[in-house]
Amino acid sequence: MELAIDGTILDANPTFLEWVGADHGDVLGRELTSFVEEGHVAEATARIADDRTTGPEGSRSLTVKLLHTEGESRAVLISWRREGDRIFVAIFDATKREEFETRIAREHTLASRQERRLNLLLRSAVGFADAMDEATLAEELAAAAKDAYSATSASVLVLDDSGQVTVSASAGSAEFMSNAEGVSLSDQALQLRTVMTIPDIAEEPLVPPAVAQVLTSAGVRGLLVAPISHESQQRGLLAVFFDHVRPFDGEAAPLAAALTRQAGQVIARIELTNQLHRAAMLDEITGLPNRRLFEEQVQRSSQSDELVGVAFIDLDGFKAVNDTLGHDVGDRVLREVAVRIQSVVRERDSVARFGGDEFVAVWTVPDEDAARLIAERIREAVARPYDLPVDLPISASIGLAISRAHAAPEAADRLVRVADHAMYSAKSDGGNRVVVSAG
């Protein structure tokens, strides 16, 4: 087709007329840009009407949308060249080119998202791997989720085997979280098995009205909730909050599933590590702390401002049980002794098996009389009859050390040694008695 220097149409071929849905007479005298989709008019005007170049070097091209009179549009490539006071224009159908470019752009966007997701998951994997406890893991997951979704805040709940929340952590706007304080998720949310994305809570029928009201009052509009599980066992919940309506694309749910899957695996690893640690720290016969764990507990107790009492307990007559009735019965007696000692002391106090028929207990008390009273109660508890096929009396020789020893860790070891020496004195004096030595 041919244009005047001001961009008006001087002549047009049948193909152009078909593409714009007009007759030859209808297009003559009109500017070519009047048939161009509005978003492309400015550029087309600048590039065609204002292009003053001439000659072969003056050839130009531009991709625009050509409008049909019925409202449809067609992607076309316009190539033009000015000669004197005329502009000669060739227009080519660029539909397939547009489709190709659109597909390339879509694939590039998808690749960028996937790369970002992969980088996020790699960073999270490193952060999660460094977590040595569930609280740290929960903090890492909340921070990662908030960053991944550019959310207002994110919260993580970790559940124990009974489904009770044991750990919670949040990341996000302090003001928002202050407003959301006290917001609880429903039991249905804690039992989720798949990721749920909610662009607008006010428009989501699956959210219970009471929960929706509380969340909305806290400033929440959009919400993503994902279960944390491992081997089909529910281990927690990730909730990501938005203070605005938040549309979610197809990558939102898979990303949340990948993050929570990583977190579930780490929770399982932390629990296994803790189980192995506890097993290494517990006596396999009585279930009491072993010497190593007990020494750690004594060190903590020795830092108390109260008096600390340490009792070293050695069983009288136990060797006869082992020799006469065998080690299985002996182990049963040891378990019974452990239960009896624990029944006397408080839950916060520590009891351990030191090996053989020796036990140690530590407690904090307000005065020496209270410490002596506890030791005497332990002695009385151990001396009660046992359900044995042969009447073999069992009692306890107890050495008791009392001190206000909260200055240094080595004070704990010293108290145990003092109690041990006092126990030997009790044993030398005939057993079944408490001997006190001031620490």
Instruction: Please indicate, yes or no, whether residues 312 and 409 belong to a single structural domain of this protein.
Output: yes
Pick from 216, 243, 278: which residue ends a domain? 278
Backbone φ, ψ for residue 308 (5° rounding): -115, 130
Q: Rounded CA gap, 141 and 117, in Å?
A: 14
> Between residues 392 and 172, which one has the greater pLDDT?
392
Give the CATH number, domain containing residue 25: 3.30.450.20
In a domain, 44, yes or no: yes
In a domain, 50, yes or no: yes
pLDDT of 181 higher than 50: no
Residue 182 has what pLDDT? 42
In a domain, 101, yes or no: no
The residue segments making up the domain with residue 151 are 107-278
Instruction: Please indicate, yes or no, whether residues 342 and 375 belong to a single structural domain of this protein.
Output: yes
Interacting residues of 210 by C-beta distance below 8 A, sequence separation 6+: none
Instruction: Please indicate, yes or no, whether residues 274 and 295 belong to a single structural domain of this protein.
Output: no
Residue 410 has what pLDDT? 58
Instruction: Please indicate, yes or no, whether residues 137 and 241 belong to a single structural domain of this protein.
Output: yes
Pick from 93, 127, 145: which residue ends a domain? 93
Give the CATH number, domain containing residue 302: 3.30.70.270
Neighbours of 265 (CB within 10 A): 17
Q: Rounded CA gap, 251 and 158, in Å?
A: 25
pLDDT of 178 higher than 60: no
Segment 103-124 shows an average pLDDT of: 73
Runs of H (alpha helix) within 70-133? 95-130
Instruction: Please indicate, yes or no, whether residues 159 and 268 belong to a single structural domain of this protein.
Output: yes
Instruction: Please indicate, yes or no, whether residues 61 and 194 belong to a single structural domain of this protein.
Output: no
Mean confidence (pLDDT) of the chain: 83
Pick from 248, 278, 308: which residue ends a domain? 278
pTM of the model: 0.54
Residue 290 has what pLDDT? 80
Residue 77 has what pLDDT? 86
In a domain, 251, yes or no: yes
In a domain, 99, yes or no: no
- The pLDDT tens digits of the residues spanning 419-435 come to 999 999 999 999 999 99
- The pLDDT tens digits of the residues spanning 251-287 come to 889 999 999 999 999 998 988 888 777 777 788 899 8
pLDDT of 379 higher than 90: yes
Residue 340 has what pLDDT? 96
Residue 302 has what pLDDT? 54
- The pLDDT tens digits of the residues spanning 363-374 come to 888 888 999 999
In a domain, 197, yes or no: yes
Distances (CA, A) of 255 to 116, 144, 170, 260, 355: 10, 11, 19, 9, 52
Work out the percent of the chain whose per-residue pLDDT is above 70.
85
Give the CATH number, domain containing residue 114: 3.30.450.40
Residue 50 has what pLDDT? 56
Instruction: Please indicate, yes or no, whether residues 149 and 265 belong to a single structural domain of this protein.
Output: yes
> Between residues 164 and 298, which one has the greater pLDDT?
164
> Between residues 331 and 37, which one has the greater pLDDT?
331
Residue 304: pLDDT band by 50, 70, 90 thresholds?
low
In a domain, 283, yes or no: no
Instruction: Please indicate, yes or no, whether residues 357 and 400 belong to a single structural domain of this protein.
Output: yes
Contact (Cβ atoms closer than 8 angstroms) between residue 264 and residue 235: yes
Structurally, the chain folds into a number of domains equal to 3
pLDDT of 177 higher than 50: no
- The pLDDT tens digits of the residues spanning 137-151 come to 999 999 999 988 889
Residue 78 has what pLDDT? 84
pLDDT of 189 higher than 80: no
Instruction: Please indicate, yes or no, whether residues 300 and 429 belong to a single structural domain of this protein.
Output: yes
The number of helix segments (H) and strand segments (E) in the chain equals 14, 15
Residue 173 has what pLDDT? 65
Contact (Cβ atoms closer than 8 angstroms) between residue 270 and residue 236: no
- The pLDDT tens digits of the residues spanning 337-360 come to 999 999 999 888 889 998 889 999
Residue 407 has what pLDDT? 46
Instruction: Please indicate, yes or no, whether residues 80 and 124 belong to a single structural domain of this protein.
Output: no
Instruction: Please indicate, yes or no, whether residues 263 and 305 belong to a single structural domain of this protein.
Output: no
Contact (Cβ atoms closer than 8 angstroms) between residue 325 and residue 389: yes
In a domain, 356, yes or no: yes
Any bridge partners for residue 227, and if so which? Answer: 237
- The pLDDT tens digits of the residues spanning 51-72 come to 544 444 555 777 888 888 888 8
Residue 276 has what pLDDT? 79
Instruction: Please indicate, yes or no, whether residues 160 and 73 belong to a single structural domain of this protein.
Output: no
Residue 183 has what pLDDT? 45
Contact (Cβ atoms closer than 8 angstroms) between residue 352 and residue 283: yes
